[in-house]
């Protein structure tokens, strides 16, 4: 059976030593009173819930799955899931980072992000039920009318109700301009919505008395394509004027998908038959409102793979220390045993360190983005708000794609450490691999994220936002460029930072002549950008660790951090050389292939 220990020490290292989050929050009036002790206390309790309540249900929930009563259209979740959610609500966890005006606790987003990393390690499928509610909350908070906010936000904040996002239809996934769901205006200002949605995570369950669906649909006179999409809030049960529940709405679960992983999350086929909904935001401007939810979900998906990377690594490390196989190539290490533990073998260490590096780099990026969001939303200086928002926009597709790609690499490497036992269910590793696989697909496949990064976020503004991140790299290089002890961390990012300008310009120029050049290079480009970001963050972690050691701190944590950083730069970061070469190979070898693909 697998185990899980919340990585509180690493979270505290990032928040308090690398990003100095307490000092950052002193500049934000909303969070000025949030100190390290408060953050640590919350994370400790969050870790207890994740490890003691959500984690024990992971394997049993996967085995049992969800069950749909096709007569009532009600879904029963696995044993213990509903009760765990009740504990989650009782502990006030849904309200952690929500607006106090609607009953929230108002804590920083960075704290909430750390909570969800631990929940994802413990049980990704369960975590998706409350996790999706945050996206619905954010969309309504940003674009809902006062009436809609008053009606829905307090219940979403408390966790009494949950929320979903209903985008995908059977004939269209990412290309939302093709959606067909219709919304007919009614005399009372509501709309009757008819259509079918698929792949709706947590679309039906028995956790709460109501589920609030945010639905994309078209008005009768809507323009074709993505410019003719509106957003509607469609509750499972209609809500009366006094806030009580009314009659059942015309939205229900018509089926559950049979999936490779996340089997204990109800991935629903949603049918709408004259379902009554209310518009969120302006007519035909639904994508603007939905993007608030989608971007929150993209960051959340990266967090899901981060959580699985961490728990898979922890179990692979424990197994490698215990499993005896063969002798070390450099001589016997365990003289009192018939064989050495497999952790002595170089390739086993390569797999373990790959998972560890991707977990620690991913956590650093997730924490960095969460702090940027807190500054974007709450900093009194408009320039800081703007710069933070720009960096979050740039980093969001990297979080989603780079962390999920790395999560796949890390979970399969961790499974490989187990050898044949990694393929056997009771060890838990094959579930981590299966559960992680969806993260590379949904909320926009990683190929779509790569196009978003290169086409919109970089070339779309002539590299202006990329230059903002480049300035952060340049500042660190200038600060530590003459420090010999930092050279092994600084030199690689300094070199790649310089190469990125030429690399980006070259692809942009080719893309102006043939747009397929951008599509052909984008996936490789995103991984290069991801390594630049990880390299910057690992250099910052190494900087803090070296300073701690120089100050006389003997905690082996800092030595381990340096060793992980050295492994990352020596064995993972050099992938950028190959990636830039393959990106430059151009579109012809892909597109001039009709005979090969006939």
Domain boundary among 233, 253, 283: 283
Do residues 547 and 468 both lie within one domain? yes
Distance CA 459, CA 400 (A): 19
In a domain, 130, yes or no: yes
The H or E element that residue 217 is part of is strand 211-217
Q: What is the CA radius of gyration of the chain?
A: 24
In a domain, 13, yes or no: no
The answer to whether 454 and 518 are in contact (CB under 8 A) is yes
Instruction: Determine the structural domain holding residue 240 and report its residue range.
Output: 161-283
Do residues 113 and 188 both lie within one domain? no
**Taking every pair of C-alpha atoms in the chain, what is the biggest distance, in angstroms?**
84
Local structure of residue 458 (DSSP, 8 states): I
The answer to whether 373 and 505 are in contact (CB under 8 A) is no
Do residues 105 and 188 both lie within one domain? no
In a domain, 149, yes or no: no
Is the torsion defined by CA of 583, 566, 327, 433 positive or negative?
negative
The answer to whether 270 and 251 are in contact (CB under 8 A) is yes
In a domain, 228, yes or no: yes
Report pTM.
Answer: 0.97
Q: Would you list the DSSP string of 129-185?
A: HHHHHHHHHHHHHHH--HHHHHHHHHHHHHTSSEEEEE--BTTBSS-GGG---EEEE
In a domain, 329, yes or no: no
At 175 the pLDDT is 84
Domain boundary among 236, 261, 283: 283
In a domain, 358, yes or no: no
Distance CA 56, CA 4 (A): 10
Q: Would you list the DSSP string of 539-574?
A: HHHHHHHHHHHHTT---HHHHHHHHHHHHIIIIITT
Q: Spell out the residues 6+ positions from residue 70 whose beta carbon is closer than 8 angstroms to its own.
A: none
- Structure-token match 């740039």, residue found: 394
Do residues 106 and 185 both lie within one domain? no
At 422 the pLDDT is 98
**pLDDT in tens for each of the 598 residues of the chain?**
899 999 999 999 999 999 999 999 999 999 999 999 999 999 999 999 999 999 999 999 999 999 999 999 999 999 999 999 999 999 999 999 999 999 999 999 999 999 999 999 999 999 999 999 988 999 999 999 999 999 999 999 999 999 999 999 999 888 888 899 999 999 999 999 999 999 999 999 999 999 999 999 999 999 998 899 999 999 999 999 999 999 999 999 999 999 999 999 999 999 999 999 999 999 999 888 877 777 888 999 999 999 999 999 999 999 999 999 999 999 999 999 999 999 999 999 999 999 999 999 999 999 999 999 999 999 999 999 999 999 999 999 999 999 999 999 999 999 999 999 999 999 999 999 999 999 999 889 999 999 999 999 999 999 999 999 999 999 999 999 899 999 999 999 999 999 999 999 999 999 999 999 999 999 999 999 999 999 999 999 999 999 999 999 999 999 999 999 999 999 999 999 999 999 999 999 999 999 999 9
HSE value, Cβ hemisphere, 13 Å, CA-based, for 243: 11
Do residues 55 and 81 both lie within one domain? yes
The answer to whether 469 and 355 are in contact (CB under 8 A) is no
Do residues 194 and 90 both lie within one domain? no
Distances (CA, A) of 484 to 157, 491, 564: 50, 10, 18
Do residues 139 and 165 both lie within one domain? no
Do residues 527 and 574 both lie within one domain? yes
At 291 the pLDDT is 78
Distance CA 157, CA 97 (A): 9
Do residues 245 and 133 both lie within one domain? no
Domain boundary among 230, 248, 283: 283
In a domain, 351, yes or no: no
At 297 the pLDDT is 87
Do residues 101 and 216 both lie within one domain? no
At 572 the pLDDT is 98
Q: Which two tokens stand for residue 90?
A: 């009782």
Do residues 556 and 457 both lie within one domain? yes
At 174 the pLDDT is 82
The answer to whether 564 and 353 are in contact (CB under 8 A) is yes
Do residues 95 and 214 both lie within one domain? no
In a domain, 91, yes or no: yes
Local structure of residue 19 (DSSP, 8 states): S
Q: CATH code at 180? A: 2.40.110.20
The answer to whether 277 and 191 are in contact (CB under 8 A) is yes
Q: Spell out the residues 6+ positions from residue 196 whose beta carbon is closer than 8 angstroms to its own.
A: 169, 170, 181, 254, 269, 270, 271, 272
Other beta carbons within 10 Å of 482: 9
Q: CATH code at 25? A: 1.10.540.10
Nearest-10 Cα torsion for 259, 261, 267, 269:
-10
Q: Which two tokens stand for residue 216?
A: 């994309």
Active site residues: 443
At 268 the pLDDT is 98
Distance CA 418, CA 348 (A): 10
Helix axes 382-417, 464-480, angle to 10 degrees: 80
Q: Cα 498–503–505 angle (5° rounding)? A: 105
Q: Which two tokens stand for residue 312?
A: 């898979």
Distance CA 25, CA 12 (A): 15
Q: How many domains does the chain have?
A: 3
Could you tell me the end-to-end alpha-carbon distance of the chain, in angstroms, rounded to an integer? 48
3-state secondary structure of 368: helix
């Amino acid at each position: 059976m697998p185990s899980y220990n919340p990585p509180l020490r690493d979270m505290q290292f990032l928040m308090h030593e690398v990003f100095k989050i307490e000092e950052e929050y002193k500049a934000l009036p909303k969070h000025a009173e949030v100190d390290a002790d408060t953050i640590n206390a919350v994370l400790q309790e969050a870790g207890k819930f994740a490890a003691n309540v959500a984690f024990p249900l992971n394997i049993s929930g996967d085995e049992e799955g969800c069950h749909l009563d096709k007569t009532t259209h009600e879904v029963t979740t696995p044993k213990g899931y509903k009760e765990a959610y009740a504990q989650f609500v009782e502990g006030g966890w849904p309200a952690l980072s929500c607006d106090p005006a609607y009953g929230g606790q108002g804590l920083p987003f960075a704290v909430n992000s750390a909570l969800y990393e631990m929940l994802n390690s413990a049980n990704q499928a369960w975590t998706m039920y409350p996790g999706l509610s945050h996206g619905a909350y954010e969309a309504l908070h940003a674009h809902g009318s006062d009436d809609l906010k008053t009606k829905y936000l307090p219940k979403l904040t408390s966790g009494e109700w949950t929320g979903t996002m209903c985008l995908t239809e059977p004939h269209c996934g990412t290309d939302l301009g093709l959606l067909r769901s219709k919304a007919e205006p009614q005399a009372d200002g509501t709309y009757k919505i008819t259509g079918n949605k698929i792949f709706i995570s947590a679309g039906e369950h028995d956790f709460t008395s109501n589920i609030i669906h945010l639905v994309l649909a078209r008005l009768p006179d809507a323009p074709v394509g993505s410019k003719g999409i509106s957003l509607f809030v469609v509750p499972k049960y209609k809500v009366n004027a006094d806030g009580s529940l009314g009659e059942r709405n015309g939205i229900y679960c018509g089926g559950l998908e049979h999936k490779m992983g996340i089997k204990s999350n109800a991935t629903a086929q949603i049918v709408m038959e004259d379902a009554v909904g209310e518009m969120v935001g302006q007519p035909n401007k639904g994508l603007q409102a939905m993007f608030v939810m989608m971007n929150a979900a993209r960051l959340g998906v990266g967090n899901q793979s981060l959580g699985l990377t961490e728990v898979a690594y922890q179990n692979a490390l424990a197994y490698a220390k215990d499993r005896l196989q063969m002798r070390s190539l450099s001589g016997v290490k365990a003289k009192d045993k018939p064989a050495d533990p497999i952790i002595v073998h170089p390739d086993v260490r390569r797999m373990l360190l790959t998972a560890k590096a991707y977990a620690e780099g991913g956590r650093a990026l997730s924490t960095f983005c969460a702090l940027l969001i807190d500054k974007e939303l709450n900093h009194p200086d408009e320039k800081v708000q703007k710069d933070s928002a720009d960096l979050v926009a740039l980093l969001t597709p990297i979080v989603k794609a780079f962390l999920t790609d790395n999560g796949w690499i890390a979970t399969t490497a961790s499974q490989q450490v187990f050898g044949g036992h990694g393929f056997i269910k009771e060890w838990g590793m094959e579930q981590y691999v299966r559960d992680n696989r969806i993260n590379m697909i949904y909320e926009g496949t990683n190929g779509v994220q790569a196009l978003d990064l290169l086409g919109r976020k970089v070339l779309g503004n002539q590299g202006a936002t990329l230059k903002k991140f480049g300035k952060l790299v340049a500042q660190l290089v200038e600060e530590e460029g003459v420090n010999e002890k930092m050279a092994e961390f600084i030199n690689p990012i300094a070199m790649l930072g310089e190469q990125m300008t030429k690399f980006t310009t070259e692809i942009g120029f080719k893309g102006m002549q043939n747009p397929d050049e951008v599509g052909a290079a984008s996936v490789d480009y995103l991984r290069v950008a991801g390594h630049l970001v990880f390299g910057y963050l690992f250099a910052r972690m190494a900087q803090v660790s070296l300073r701690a050691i120089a100050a006389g701190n003997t905690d082996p944590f800092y030595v381990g951090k340096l060793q992980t950083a050295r492994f990352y730069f020596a064995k993972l970061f050099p992938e950028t050389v190959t990636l830039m070469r393959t990106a430059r190979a151009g579109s012809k070898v892909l597109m001039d292939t009709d005979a090969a693909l006939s």
